[in-house]
């Protein structure tokens, strides 16, 4: 799985390569390799990691470096796990938490779509670069929504 994270609390959104949706964290399940992933301690830190990963994905796809883009999409799965945990830990109203959850669900859906494009057989489906173009605005809005929750 390219964009998965530490385990799963819920079944994957789609098939064996479900992307970040399959990366829901398991309490204490960290037996597999995280590479260079550093867990975000704050929402601001997690959003910064997400924006850096998105820049890497954008640059990689623009230059044809599909493997580097795939690696960054995998990293996004870990970052989204961290952000989900951080949102749940916040002492916010139910409405604010729901705003955070919706933004994370939007990000998960967008990166799942990108992950699926990266793993599609040559010539099948939309190119990963085109998919990125189609979800960039949605990703940006979700990041702004999450950023608006930081005090």
The CA-CA-CA angle for residues 12, 13, 14, to 5°, reads 95
Question: Which of 1-15, 27-41, 113-127, 132-146 has the highest mean predicted lDDT (pLDDT)?
Answer: 132-146
pLDDT on residue 123: 85
Residue 124: how many other CB atoms lie within 10 Å: 7
Residue 132: how many other CB atoms lie within 10 Å: 25
- The model carries a pTM of 0.77
Sole residue written with tokens 């301690």:
41
Taking a C-beta distance cutoff of 8 angstroms, is the pair 13, 19 a contact? yes
């Amino acid at each position: 799985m390219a964009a998965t994270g530490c385990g799963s609390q819920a079944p994957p959104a789609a098939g064996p390569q479900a992307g970040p949706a399959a990366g829901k964290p398991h309490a204490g399940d960290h037996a597999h390799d995280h590479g260079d992933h550093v867990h975000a301690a704050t929402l601001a830190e997690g959003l910064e990691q997400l924006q850096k990963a998105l820049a890497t994905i954008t640059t990689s796809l623009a230059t044809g470096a599909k493997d580097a883009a795939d690696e960054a999409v995998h990293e996004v799965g870990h970052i989204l796990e961290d952000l989900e945990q951080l949102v749940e830990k916040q002492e916010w109203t139910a409405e604010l938490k729901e705003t955070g959850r919706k933004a994370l669900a939007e990000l998960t859906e967008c990166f799942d779509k990108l992950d699926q494009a990266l793993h599609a057989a040559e010539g099948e489906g939309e190119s990963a670069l085109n998919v990125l173009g189609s979800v960039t605005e949605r990703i940006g809005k979700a990041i702004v929504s999450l950023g608006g929750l930081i005090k």
